């Protein structure tokens, strides 16, 4: 998001192709395409077809948070995957597992709140 912002600010690029982003950031093109697709679906970028097409931010970076980007890319995937089925007969196992899961959920919520408090523009100020 910051990269697209800076390139747009240079006025050299209005829309950036996935290939240009891939080459400049040294990230494989399929990975860039996958991420851009998720960002588009979330409404964070807009795309334009054609020779002068590519990707452009849908709104200013001071209106986007790190949580917006995280949520777009992760699309509701649990941060901590947990399993509840164990082949063990252990006193208080269920209670211990629930306490652990509860702690992980609180940590995930705290992380989401922190990400929501940081605008993309805060990264460059």
Global confidence as pTM: 0.82
> Between these two residues, 117 and 125, which has the higher pLDDT value?
117
3-state secondary structure 44-55: CEEEECCCCCEE
pLDDT digits (tens, 9 = 90+) for 42-85: 999 999 998 888 999 999 999 999 999 999 999 878 888 877 77
Total number of domains constituting the chain = 1
End-to-end CA distance of the chain: 15
The SS3 call for residue 59 is coil
Tokens of 35: 């991420």
**Sign, Cα dihedral of 3, 59, 66, 71:** negative
Distance CA 75, CA 36 (A): 13
Residue matched to tokens 């931010």: 57
Q: Are 119 and 59 in contact (CB under 8 A)?
A: no
- Percent share of the chain, pLDDT over 70: 100
Given this model, what pLDDT does residue 13 score?
A: 76
Range of the domain at 35: 2-123
Beta strand ranges found along the chain (DSSP E) = 45-48, 54-57
CATH classification of the domain holding 103: 1.10.10.10
The average pLDDT across 115-119 equals: 98
């Amino acid at each position: 998001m910051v990269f697209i912002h800076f390139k747009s600010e240079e006025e050299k690029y209005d829309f950036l192709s996935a290939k240009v982003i891939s080459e400049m950031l040294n990230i494989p093109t399929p990975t860039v395409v996958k991420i851009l697709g998720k960002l588009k679906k979330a409404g964070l970028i807009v795309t334009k077809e054609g020779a002068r097409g590519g990707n452009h931010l849908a709104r200013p970076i001071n209106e986007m948070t790190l949580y917006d980007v995280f949520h777009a890319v992760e699309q509701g995937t649990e941060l901590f995957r947990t399993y509840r089925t164990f082949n063990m007969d252990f006193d208080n196992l269920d209670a211990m597992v629930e306490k652990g899961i509860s702690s992980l959920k609180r940590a995930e919520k705290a992380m989401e709140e922190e990400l929501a408090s940081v605008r993309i523009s805060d990264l460059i100020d």
